[in-house]
A and B are shown apart, each in its own frame.
Chain A
Amino acid sequence: MNRLLILTATMVIGFCSVGLGGCQVPPMRGETPAANDADFFMNLAYKDVASLGDGYRAVALLQKPGSTEVMPTAQARDLLVERNAVPRSWDAGGEKPLTKGELAYMICQSLEIKGGVTMRVFGPSQRYCLFEAAYQELMLGGATDQYVTGGELVSTIDRADRYLQNRQQGEELPAASLDAEQPPVAPVEEAVEGDD
């Protein structure tokens, strides 16, 4: 019986080692070269798996609309942490692969998307941020643990930037429309006569 117990324990340890060995993805070392934003996004578009650091740097660009300079990973992370777009507990090195949940969280927090009832009551989570990002057509839905390819990251940032631009235009419009002269309104009687 003792032998059986020992064997069972060894098997459990073996299974655990298989799990750990199989699930671990080697870290992606080195930052994606970025002479400017166009260079960064093109290099990113060729990557099969984007790193968390790529995510930090790409989403940090959304925080600085006029800038074309891509920040280093550490600086980008600090900026996002400061603006509550990234929790402090997230990997500082940014070498692990970026997941859909992490990207959705960063996007929703950066764009200040409040979400539905669940997000408002329980606060933002990766799962509900991904739902919300998919609802806003910023990202394709899926599992929060799915890795994000470089091309997907570029596309998501592009859509997020358009979302931001549209929202800014929407905020500017009411003020502008108040200043503008209102067009003359056609009399109601004429419209009724015309219909008849």
Chain B
Amino acid sequence: MINVGSMKLLKISAWLLAAILLIAAGPVMAQQAASDDGAEAVEVPAEAVEVPAEAVDQGQASPAAGQPTPAAPAAEEPDQAPPAGADDAAAPAGGAADEAEKDPACRVVRLNGTVQWRAGDKAPWQAAAEGTELATGSDIRTGRRAGCTLAFDQGSSMVELEALTIIRIGEFQRQPDGKVRTRLYLKLGSTKSIVEKTRMESDFAIITPQATMAVQGTDVIQTTHRPDFGTRIALSNSGRIGVTNNQTGRSRGLRPGDAITNQMLLAIENAQFNTAVPVFDLNGGLTQNEQYSILRGPQGFSGVGTQTGPGGGSLTGGSPTFGQQEFLLQQQQQPEEPSGTDDPAGDPESPGFEETGW
């Protein structure tokens, strides 16, 4: 019995060992292949590898790979091709030759620090100056502690680019009804926009990878997109803007002083825990119907019970009071206020950020 048991154990151990060695051999062999090749790393994501691969082509291999150390710094290289993911067919930006024939969409009216632009994906980056005119499809980027202001349509809309910002002018066209349609794609960084309503009707939107901000006419709107902290849009002075989450399609309107993140939650400021200020987000990030359903159903939630809704009564569970029901019904009967002129997320003519392949 002992012999049979130990034999079984030996067999199982042998199979386990074989499986482990097989798993272990994969990455090790891949690394060896990568180190032999010198240009291709296997497990590093494609985009991370792409730049070094180009550098190797230009004689910039690392000393570890057995290649000579580059004498010239990378700063002297010509502008490299766009990173992985750039697709010319999908991108709103065309070639440099096409861009030259287009009418200018905007003009640089003020700049400081390193500000560069290019006419399209394939065009080289060049330094911007005051008065530089940019056509549709142009990209603009700013360096550290740099910034610039772009004037669209004779100054009816102004966009201020802050430091470390990359933006593309996706669309700029005057429509038959006189409306000026502008679409900007914010890859990274922060912008402040002023869209004037009085001089001409405009259809202005800034599209980030996470959210779309559409505006008809208003004062300062700050749009920020950071890969780690996400998108944040704030309306400073006046007007009303609509913000749409690109993933969920959910929209919300912003009033002056409001700020919103890509989760479509309004930031409630000036609330202190030790004061009994009745502060609440009217719809709690939900639609009116969802909020109505929640208020109608019996709730097990036992949160703060002192806050009151606009019609009186508690917002923290139980059936809605008469005042709440009346208020919600009034809201349901009212036509929804337009959040911007169009819904860019649902507009077939306006490609989403992902579709640009930028």
A residues sitting closer than 8 Å to B (CB atoms) are 3-4, 7-8, 10-11, 14-15, 17-18, 20-22, 24-39, 41-43, 45-49, 61, 65, 68-70, 72, 93, 95, 139-140, 149-152, 154-158, 161, 165
The proximity string for B residues 12-48 relative to A, scoring 1 for CB distances below 8 Å and 0 otherwise, is 0110110011011111100100110011011111111
Residues of A contacting B27 with CB < 8 Å?
21-22, 24
Using a Cβ–Cβ cut-off of 8 Å, how many residues does chain B contribute to the interface with A?
A: 71
Q: Which residue of A lies closest to B42 (CB)?
A: A26
Q: Which residue of A lies closest to B77 (CB)?
A: A33
**In contact, A68 and B144 (Cβ under 8 angstroms):** yes
**In contact, A7 and B13 (Cβ under 8 angstroms):** yes
**In contact, B61 and A154 (Cβ under 8 angstroms):** no
Is B145 at the interface (CB under 8 A from chain A)? yes
**In contact, A3 and B141 (Cβ under 8 angstroms):** no
* Cα separation A35 to B44 with both chains bound (whole Å): 24
Is B131 at the interface (CB under 8 A from chain A)? no
Extra contacts besides A8-B13, A37-B114 (6): CB < 8 Å: A11-B16, A25-B43, A30-B55, A33-B75, A140-B229, A154-B188
Can you report 25 A-B residue pairs in the complex whose CB atoms are below 8 A from each other?
A: A3-B10, A7-B17, A11-B20, A14-B20, A14-B24, A17-B20, A18-B24, A26-B44, A27-B64, A28-B49, A30-B53, A33-B51, A34-B74, A37-B146, A38-B144, A47-B51, A49-B48, A95-B62, A140-B228, A140-B229, A151-B226, A154-B164, A158-B144, A158-B164, A161-B145
CB distance from A5 to the nearest CB of B (A): 11
**In contact, A95 and B64 (Cβ under 8 angstroms):** yes
Residues of A contacting B45 with CB < 8 Å?
48-49
B residues sitting closer than 8 Å to A (CB atoms) are 6, 9-10, 13-14, 16-17, 20-21, 23-28, 31, 34-35, 38-39, 41-49, 51-56, 60-62, 64-65, 73-77, 79-80, 83-85, 113-116, 125, 141-146, 163-164, 166, 187-189, 226-229
Q: Which residue of B lies closest to A18 (CB)?
A: B24
**In contact, A165 and B145 (Cβ under 8 angstroms):** yes
Give the interface centre of B16, B31, B44 by most chain A CB atoms within 10 Å.
Answer: B44
**In contact, B228 and A155 (Cβ under 8 angstroms):** yes
Residues of A contacting B51 with CB < 8 Å?
30, 32-33, 43, 46-47
Question: Residue B229 contacts which of A35, A155, A165 (CB distance < 8 angstroms)?
Answer: A155
CB distance from A143 to the nearest CB of B (A): 14
Residues of A contacting B41 with CB < 8 Å?
26-29
Count of inter-chain pairs, beta carbons less than 8 A:
188
**In contact, A31 and B55 (Cβ under 8 angstroms):** yes
**In contact, B114 and A36 (Cβ under 8 angstroms):** yes
Residues of A contacting B166 with CB < 8 Å?
42, 45
* Cα separation A17 to B29 with both chains bound (whole Å): 12
Known pairs A18-B23, A36-B114; A49 contacts B44 (CB<8 A): yes
**In contact, A33 and B80 (Cβ under 8 angstroms):** yes
CB distance from B143 to the nearest CB of A (A): 4
Residues of B contacting A157 with CB < 8 Å?
144, 164
* Cα separation A153 to B16 with both chains bound (whole Å): 42
Residues of B contacting A61 with CB < 8 Å?
144
**In contact, A41 and B79 (Cβ under 8 angstroms):** no
**In contact, B61 and A29 (Cβ under 8 angstroms):** yes
**In contact, B144 and A41 (Cβ under 8 angstroms):** yes
* Cα separation A45 to B46 with both chains bound (whole Å): 14
**In contact, B228 and A30 (Cβ under 8 angstroms):** no
Q: Which residue of B lies closest to A95 (CB)?
A: B62
* Cα separation A38 to B165 with both chains bound (whole Å): 9
**In contact, A29 and B64 (Cβ under 8 angstroms):** yes
* Cα separation A49 to B44 with both chains bound (whole Å): 8
Residues of B contacting A150 with CB < 8 Å?
48
**In contact, A29 and B17 (Cβ under 8 angstroms):** no
Q: Which residue of B lies closest to A140 (CB)?
A: B228
**In contact, A41 and B20 (Cβ under 8 angstroms):** no
CB distance from A57 to the nearest CB of B (A): 10
* Cα separation A18 to B11 with both chains bound (whole Å): 21
Q: Which residue of B lies closest to A137 (CB)?
A: B229
* Cα separation A8 to B65 with both chains bound (whole Å): 37
**In contact, B60 and A30 (Cβ under 8 angstroms):** yes
